[in-house]
Structure 1
């Protein structure tokens, strides 16, 4: 199998995902978008990337309006498995910088089939940031993956804390494959990694987001006047939050990858005034690897 990125677990999935963290150049799970077609290798390296997303998705939830965005990511990977990373997010049409993330962690591998990573991320938001993720400021993430050959199964645990506290479990089943033929020369190839994903968790962040931002958005008075106080209690329940299908297609060369992906998201057990519905998301990612 051909190599071009040292580490991924996404959040990023999420996620950014992490969609989800779909974790920038790390997780492939939500909140910021990254290539899902990477292969893990153990080398000292630096990866830099830029992504475009059609809407900000955070653990299966979106805001009341669409927030298309750009992100820039950088990650340093050591041979020992330690890594540090940072990301900058800009929602198009809003503040110059809406969010800066910094974090680090450790990648481990128990066998050829079983690997994982543990990490911590700090989210720093512009005071006027409107993305739904802004209700949280810290994330502790643990991801384990097992390759059954027929499918690869990943289970990701997240604990988010700050203005709201939430627990999430993301389960993904994916199948990676790549072309046996080249496009322009013998140094390039296409790769695919379709996946089916489920997110379970609490959603206290939804209630916190409503408290922080409801008056900045145009909501019908009938909704504001009839907000159910019991919704805050229901948000504490550990429920199924989202199902999604993701189909990424990537063009790869030894040092860089260009990927386009489509995700179809099916939110369930939606609480509060967000009124999330089924939605398609389109993401484009480019990253370059130095090693």
Structure 2
């Protein structure tokens, strides 16, 4: 089974996808329901000043031609709102050669006023990913994130799946280490800092003290450069119609990130069921 389920960067940040097998997608239209716990919101390896553990619920319908539709709801445990954000997406997966595939997608996320998400000023995201399967799986992705302004990102990923038959060959245990390098602009971060200052002043808290004022005015947020180096270590248990995955991810912020040199750590636990 292939969930084809992916959290776009506009909800966690990195594009996390779980793939079990591609054959069933070709045979019929599928519905995948998923729930995911995350220890913190991940946006291209970067995080907000406030830790944001979350729970996400997703439904994805995939058709035989490769077109898919998805809907995701997010709840931040620190948020008084039951639904902290919702995202709707559409995409198209296509095969160029047996080993070379592509994925074109668009997502729109609805953020409430005063949202603590880093990317709250970027509700729209369009992406194109190309993947080549050889000794490793190599993926090159490009994203445009836009709303009040525009940011763009590129991600180069290499991963390798190690599969082991368990439960008398009725299940597969998969370990798929993944290395990714992410580059991009970060006008979203400048907007986040300004938004947090306004939110706190509106609540009578004064300045947040997130960063010195000089950072807001001297950092070139439009500059394209390295944002993060990422290592993800996911372990998945896969049966015929469902998958359970736990993953830890380490993100070392690059020279183009405001908090360059910081090491961010994320943990996710997900359950996926396909009909």
Q: TM-score, normalised by structure 2?
A: 0.89
Question: Which residue of the other structure, out of 62, 67, 71, is the alignment partner of 2:52?
Answer: 67
How many pairs were matched up? 266
Distance across 1 between alignment mates of 2:228 and 2:110: 26
Match of 1:115 in 2: 101
Distance across 1 between alignment mates of 2:76 and 2:261: 19
Trace 1:27-106 onto structure 2 (pairs within 5 A). Answer: 28=17, 35=18, 37-41=19-23, 42=26, 43-94=28-79, 95-106=81-92
Contact 2:227 2:257 in 1 (8 A): no
Match of 1:188 in 2: 171
Distance across 1 between alignment mates of 2:115 and 2:256: 22
Distance across 2 between alignment mates of 1:100 and 1:222: 27
Contact 1:7 1:39 in 2 (8 A): no
Contact 2:193 2:210 in 1 (8 A): no
**Residue 199 of structure 2 corresponds to residue 235 of structure 1:** no
Distance across 2 between alignment mates of 1:72 and 1:221: 34
**Residue 243 of structure 2 corresponds to residue 260 of structure 1:** no
Residue 12 of structure 1 deviates from its aligned partner by 3.7
Contact 1:206 1:271 in 2 (8 A): no
C-alpha distance 167-96 of structure 1, shift in aligned 2 (>3 A):
same
Contact 2:155 2:180 in 1 (8 A): yes
Contact 1:5 1:38 in 2 (8 A): yes
Match of 1:25 in 2: none
Contact 2:111 2:120 in 1 (8 A): yes
**Residue 14 of structure 2 corresponds to residue 19 of structure 1:** yes
More off after superposition, 213-222 vs 69-78: 213-222
SS in 2 for 1:145: strand
More strand by share: 2
Match of 1:210 in 2: 193
Contact 1:188 1:254 in 2 (8 A): yes
Residue 236 of structure 1 deviates from its aligned partner by 0.5
Unaligned runs of 5+ in 2: none
Unaligned runs of 5+ in 1: 23-27, 29-34
Distance across 2 between alignment mates of 1:109 and 1:222: 45
Match of 1:134 in 2: 120
SS in 1 for 2:97: coil
For residues 222-257 of structure 1, what are the alpha-carbon distances to aligned partners after superposition, in whole Å with 9 as ceiling and x for unaligned?
A: 9444444122xx111110100010010001110000
C-alpha distance 225-244 of structure 1, shift in aligned 2 (>3 A):
closer
Contact 2:225 2:256 in 1 (8 A): no
**Residue 157 of structure 2 corresponds to residue 172 of structure 1:** yes
SS in 1 for 2:148: coil
Q: TM-score, normalised by structure 1?
A: 0.85
C-alpha distance 221-131 of structure 1, shift in aligned 2 (>3 A):
closer
Trace 1:247-286 onto structure 2 (pairs within 5 A). Answer: 247-269=233-255, 271-272=257-258, 277-286=262-271
SS in 2 for 1:229: helix
